[in-house]
Chain A
Amino acid sequence: ETGVTQSPTHLIKTRGQQVTLRCSSQSGHNTVSWYQQALGQGPQFIFQYYREEENGRGNFPPRFSGLQFPNYSSELNVNALELDDSALYLCASSLDINEQFFGPGTRLTVL
């Protein structure tokens, strides 16, 4: 069984640019959640997708957006990058509330 995978592993962008991060969920998992983990902090919930619809959102501005595809894979898009967007971005897939499986993350650096 393939676990949660994310790409790319690392990414360097400059302020104002746009970025797309990708996540492949674990087989059969229909829910994907995205989290932002700043250095030295716990992960913060960005949003969740269930069956291709946004299903809940944390305290992040609209320039953070996402998609979920019919195969349940997902993308996180961030527009107009700011220095504070530098973080580890984690994707988690799940089938139910008590089991969320995390990918290895994408390390984004904004210069």
Chain B
Amino acid sequence: GNSVTQMEGPVTLSEEAFLTINCTYTATGYPSLFWYVQYPGEGLQLLLKATKADDKGSNKGFEATYRKETTSFHLEKGSVQVSDSAVYFCARVDSGGSNYKLTFGKGTLLTVNP
């Protein structure tokens, strides 16, 4: 089936460190890919997206490139801040005819220490 797999956490970094969170997806169909962020006690916020191969999504210093050849959509940030501490979810959306649903990875908890 259609799924995404992301690296398990938790990930703990010092402020200004480089962040990579790996995400791969099953090579079925032509999904759009997303990264969502969930801050403690809150719902999900869309961080960035890419709708086709070679697209790069970016927002708030985060980037991810849709790579069809490696079926990956890794999240990166050059210099993390304490305020980036949250759970990050990789997701895909597949159109099932008249409907569409998001399929999420299990999430990666990021903690950034000052």
Contacts of B106 in A (CB 8 A): 40-42
Contacts of A92 in B (CB 8 A): 44, 102
Contact B32 A97 (CB under 8 A): yes
Contacts of A21 in B (CB 8 A): none
From A33, A48, A98, A102, give the contact of B43 (CB < 8 A).
A102
Q: Could you tell me how many residues of chain A have their Cβ less than 8 Å away from some Cβ of chain B?
A: 26
Contact B99 A105 (CB under 8 A): no
> Which B residues, 54 to 94, have Cβ-Cβ distances below 8 Å to chain A?
89, 91, 93
Q: Considering the chains assembled together, what is the distance between the CA atoms of A97 and B98 in angstroms?
A: 10
> Which A residues, 5 to 41, have Cβ-Cβ distances below 8 Å to chain B?
6, 33, 35, 40-41
Q: Considering the chains assembled together, what is the distance between the CA atoms of A3 and B91 in angstroms?
A: 21
Shortest Cβ distance from residue B64 to the other chain A in the assembled complex, whole angstroms: 15
> Which A residues, 60 to 111, have Cβ-Cβ distances below 8 Å to chain B?
90, 92, 97-105
Given the known A-B contacts A90-B44, A98-B93, are A58 and B101 also in contact in the complex, defined by CB atoms under 8 Å? Answer: yes
Contact B99 A104 (CB under 8 A): no
Label chain B's interface by main secondary structure. Answer: strand
Q: Could you tell me how many residues of chain B have their Cβ less than 8 Å away from some Cβ of chain A?
A: 24
Shortest Cβ distance from residue A46 to the other chain B in the assembled complex, whole angstroms: 9
Residue of B nearest to A35 (CB): B102
Shortest Cβ distance from residue B4 to the other chain A in the assembled complex, whole angstroms: 9
Q: Considering the chains assembled together, what is the distance between the CA atoms of A99 and B95 in angstroms?
A: 13
Contact B100 A90 (CB under 8 A): no
7 extra A-B contacts, CB within 8 A, seeds A98-B32, A102-B44: A48-B99, A48-B100, A98-B93, A100-B102, A102-B43, A102-B45, A103-B43
